[in-house]
A and B are shown apart, each in its own frame.
Chain A
């Protein structure tokens, strides 16, 4: 098989592949299949067809303009959607290119158009069949590119021998085919590797970054008072939280925070978990892992959380967490509702459903009570200075309701103490006592510890919770960016009839208002988030959503164009339609001109050169090819010596070729026809052994035509 034939076959198969993709996506009506297949198949003989139908070729540009205009009109008014219109325009361009291609570049356009068909189809199909089509395209595309390269380079570097090389049957060997298939498969494997694996494995599996061992120091499974001073100034992003199902303005939600780990045992200096045992919760229906039941006391909110590796197994979510969906399929929960999942070193994405707390609402039968053991653990206190107990009693004096008493204690801390990151250590007294009675300033852990201790002093079960503040709202991406400096501690206290409720005693809001990211950073971060969402975590659901959005958008554009067109009065409307048509035609004309075969002048000019090339191809079969430094005339002389009977034909073809090629002369289609016949009458075998005894007619007869 010659290179040219192999290239033609591959191009046709690629077109078939593109059409199959369109059919799969439902962009081609079945009734059209036969017609389109016939038109595409007939283009195999496009040269023969073009040579026979000279009249059509002569008026081809007019005809094409008309058809192009029709498709532009079709795009705007007749097609079901803009996408359908584009597909039809694409098909038209494909047909046009299939039947007018002359050069290698034209064939490359056909390949590109096939690729566009695949792209158009990819917007609407999630069928697994598309994968097959894509793989076929990749295999054929690699093969086509190799052949294209071989042909292009031959023409560029050995123009004299190119026709012979392209027609040579020795180039397309099984080993070249094998090499192409191997190259395609290798690129397929690498593509899959890069696309599916790299973004998904998480950083921990790659030994590329030395900083992987670094943990977010703002968050630990212990709270040790007085040991952190600068944690919150670290702006590294820990997680991003978006709300796929609403609400409409999540940034306005009050008191939103991301609960992580809870502690119930206080040693006087540090908080820890008294019972580390955990229960394993596995996935139930729909991939959810159910953790708690909704109480109907607050709105349900779904969060999509992208958690960076922070060296902790804890999963964060807004309190109260009802369920999660994550790839691991199971989580563990301890007695304090801390949810953990292994793989602490990988970037994780999960969904969490929470029921937000509404402090004013009470629900009967909620929090039916704590067991004695739970209650004891939630009221545990180390030996403390009597001043602490006295303070708690003083603040809550005269308030019998535990809820009101708790709020009173919280308000006392919020208003009478100062939030500060500069912790002044005085080892003489207990850190808590120093905070409450000496420095009266500290970070959130002091506030949280103090409130928990004070609550416990007055008999209200309480625990300290570590997690993150809600973070910064990114208006470009519609999500919260949570950073290490947002690490926070607060308190959960138990109230009969309410259950565990969040109480945040630290006056941090004013302090945090100084943190603001620049718009540029937010925009870049939104892009990063989009990358995670659209590329790394591209799911079937996302595909369906995107496909639906494309359709809707196309429909709405069409509607807008149509309605807009109707509402504009007469003359303006004509002008608008005319303008749109002119624009569409300009695009079509541009595409044709690029191919170089469109304008009559260029067509005529190229005609003779093509005929000369055809002559070279025929002569190449006789073993007559011009050398690299051989001019057309020198070659002509050599050919004439070998084929003296063909002197007139070869000399005339060479002369006209020179005139057209170097002299910018123009010849008409009839002349091209005549020269073509002249070239075709050149022998395919040396004189005297002409194929089938077929010899050319006298030149005079040809000249008369």
Chain B
């Protein structure tokens, strides 16, 4: 791959890392989501930096950014926009909602009603909004960063599988390391979010996305992806295996991983490392294995176990 591309990616990563201290692997996953034209679901306990990550990524790109705080009374029109009667022209004029931005932060997405959640479906999948017999294209690049809290379930509406399937990766941030957290406490070197400068233009992001699609995937690696996906479909531990959309997501994410690693070709490690973030949220673990609130953890463990079993191409 060309050096400038790698340089751009490194610049983006280091910019985000200025705010999200001590979590380079999470920053890498967020960048992968961006390069692969995917959407991210960031799930973790409050206060670990979910919103900060989304915000930092958005600010690092010279792109429009909107944050939508999802609440139980939020309506689809609040995010998509509405048509308002214009008395002067005598016609209905469309007023785009906050979704019409390059980066959309859907904060606490599981707090809103399924109706509002599903209004995001078309936008996430087809990069457009259909309203009142009109279709409005969304600006490019377009990326949804959604966050949710896995612990507080009271008054929440868990995302349905169909919606989960539309997220390329599900990321867990986790607590920072001891030294990292001390650094945060110290406040030295941590840049306030507001001071973050954009390091990548929207056009550069689109170029990087186009380059990602060209990353070479050797034939046997397709078999490897299929091997993993089929293992989830056969596994007695899972009720629902990975869909073809899921296998495609894994491949795209692997290409982006290779790109972020400075390679023009995918290696088995790209696929293996991304299997959990790309697939775990797409499967349903058998009920007897579920612990209250621990289904997601179980899914990750199952996928991880399966991946270790699938033979790697040589």
| A631 and B266 contact, CB distance less than 8 A | no
A160 CA / B312 CA spacing, docked (Å)? 8
Known: A160-B314, A661-B218. 16 other contacts (CB 8 A): A159-B311, A160-B311, A160-B312, A628-B311, A631-B267, A631-B268, A631-B269, A631-B272, A632-B269, A634-B269, A634-B272, A658-B267, A662-B265, A663-B218, A663-B264, A664-B216
Q: Would you call B269 and A629 a contact (CB within 8 A)?
A: no
Q: Residue A630 at the B interface, CB < 8 A?
A: yes
Query: For the complex, what is the distance from the CA of A443 to the CA of B265, rounded to whole Å?
Result: 90
Can you name the residue of chain A whose Cβ is closest to the Cβ of B224?
Answer: A631
Q: Please measure, in the bound complex, the distance between the C-alpha atom of A632 and the C-alpha atom of B313, giving whole angstroms.
A: 9
The answer to whether A630 and B312 have CB atoms under 8 Å apart is yes
Expressed in whole angstroms, the Cα–Cα distance for A160 and B314 within the complex equals: 8
Given A159-B314, A160-B314, A664-B216, A629 contacting B308 (CB threshold 8 A): yes
Specify which of A159, A629, A658, A662 is in contact with B310 (CB 8 Å cutoff): A629
Given contacts A658-B267, A662-B267, A663-B264, contact A629 B311 (CB under 8 A): yes
Specify which chain A residues have a CB less than 8 angstroms from the CB of B310 in the assembled complex: 628-629
- Shortest distance between the CB of B212 and any CB in chain A (Å): 16
Q: Does A387 reach chain B (CB closer than 8 Å)?
A: no
5 contacts between A and B (CB under 8 A): A160-B311, A629-B307, A629-B312, A631-B312, A634-B272
A663 near B311: Cβ-Cβ < 8 Å: no
Bound CA–CA A21/B118 (angstroms): 78
B274 shortest CB reach to chain A, Å: 12
Top 6 closest A-B pairs, CB basis? Answer: A663-B265, A631-B268, A629-B308, A662-B218, A628-B311, A159-B314
B218 touches A633 (CB 8 A): no
B159 touches A (CB below 8 Å):
no
Q: Which of B266, B272, B308, B311 touches A662 (beta carbons < 8 Å)?
A: B266
How many residues on B have C-beta within 8 angstroms of the other chain's C-beta atoms?
19
Mark contacts of B293-314 with chain A using CB atoms, 8 A cut-off: 1 yes-contact digit, 0 otherwise.
0000000000000011111111
A664 / chain B contacts, CB cutoff of 8 Å: 216, 218, 265
Is B221 an interface residue, CB under 8 A from the partner? Answer: yes
Task: For A634, give the chain B residue with the smallest CB separation.
Answer: B269
Residues of the B chain whose Cβ atoms lie less than 8 Å from the Cβ of A626 = 312
Whether the Cβ atoms of A663 and B269 lie closer than 8 Å is no
Question: B18 to chain A: which residues have CB within 8 Å?
Answer: none
Interface flag for B23 (CB, 8 Å): no
- A499 → chain B, closest Cβ, in Å? 86
In the bound complex, what is the Cα–Cα distance between A626 and B312 (angstroms)?
10
> How far is A632 from B267 in the complex, measured between Cα atoms in Å?
9
Assembled-state Cα–Cα distance A658/B313 (Å): 11
Nearest CB to that of B227 among chain A residues?
Answer: A629
Within 8 A of B (CB), among A657-674: 658-659, 661-664
Question: Closest residue to B264 on the A side, CB-wise?
Answer: A663
CA distance A631 to B266 in the complex (A): 12
- Which residues of chain A in 157-201 are interfacial with respect to chain B, using CB atoms and an 8 Å cutoff? 159-160
Q: A658 CA to B308 CA in the complex, in Å?
A: 20
A671 to B218, CA, bound (A): 23
Residue of A160, A629, A659, A662 near B221 (CB, 8 A) is A662
Measured CB to CB, the nearest residue on chain B to A665 is B265
Residues from 615 to 633 in A contacting B, C-beta threshold 8 Å: 626, 628-633
CB distance from A639 to the nearest CB of B (A): 15
Within 8 A of B (CB), among A97-125: none
Contact A633 B309 (CB under 8 A): no
A630 surroundings in chain B (CB, below 8 A): 312
Cα–Cα, bound, A159→B227 (Å): 15
Mask: chain B, 23-65; 1 = CB below 8 Å from A; 0 = not: 0000000000000000000000000000000000000000000
On chain B, the residues within 8 Å of A628 by CB distance are: 309-312
User: B263 near A: Cβ within 8 Å?
Assistant: yes
Could you say which residues of chain A place their CB within 8 Å of the CB of B314? 159-160, 632, 661
Q: Quick one: given A661-B218, A663-B216, A664-B216, are A629 and B267 in contact (CB under 8 Å)?
A: no
B216 CB contacts on chain A under 8 angstroms: 662-664
- 1/0 per residue A549-587: CB within 8 Å of B? 000000000000000000000000000000000000000
Is the CB–CB distance between B265 and A633 below 8 Å? no
Interface-centre pick from B216, B221, B265, B266 (highest chain A CB count, 10 A): B265
Q: Mark A620-656, 1 if CB is under 8 A from B, else 0.
A: 0000001011111110000000000000000000000
Residues of B within 8 A of A658 (CB): 265, 267
Q: Which of B218, B268, B307, B308 has the most CB of A within 10 A?
A: B268
Bound-state Cα–Cα, A148 to B311, Å: 22
A645 to chain B, nearest CB (A): 24
Q: Contacts of A659 on B, CB cut-off 8 Å?
A: 265
Q: Mark A520-555, 1 if CB is under 8 A from B, else 0.
A: 000000000000000000000000000000000000
Given contacts A662-B221, A663-B216, contact A629 B266 (CB under 8 A): no
- 1/0 per position for B232-251, CB-CB distance to A under 8 A? 00000000000000000000
Contacts of A661 in B (CB 8 A): 218, 314
Q: Nearest chain A CB to B25's CB is how many angstroms away?
A: 16
**Assembly CA distance A475 to B216 (angstroms):** 64
CB distance from A538 to the nearest CB of B (A): 49
Contact A633 B311, CB 8 Å, known A662-B218, A662-B221: no
Indicate if the CB atoms of A632 and B268 lie closer than 8 Å: yes
Question: How far, in whole Å, are A629 and B309 apart by their CA atoms in the complex?
Answer: 5
Q: Which residues of B contact A160 (CB under 8 A)?
A: 311-312, 314
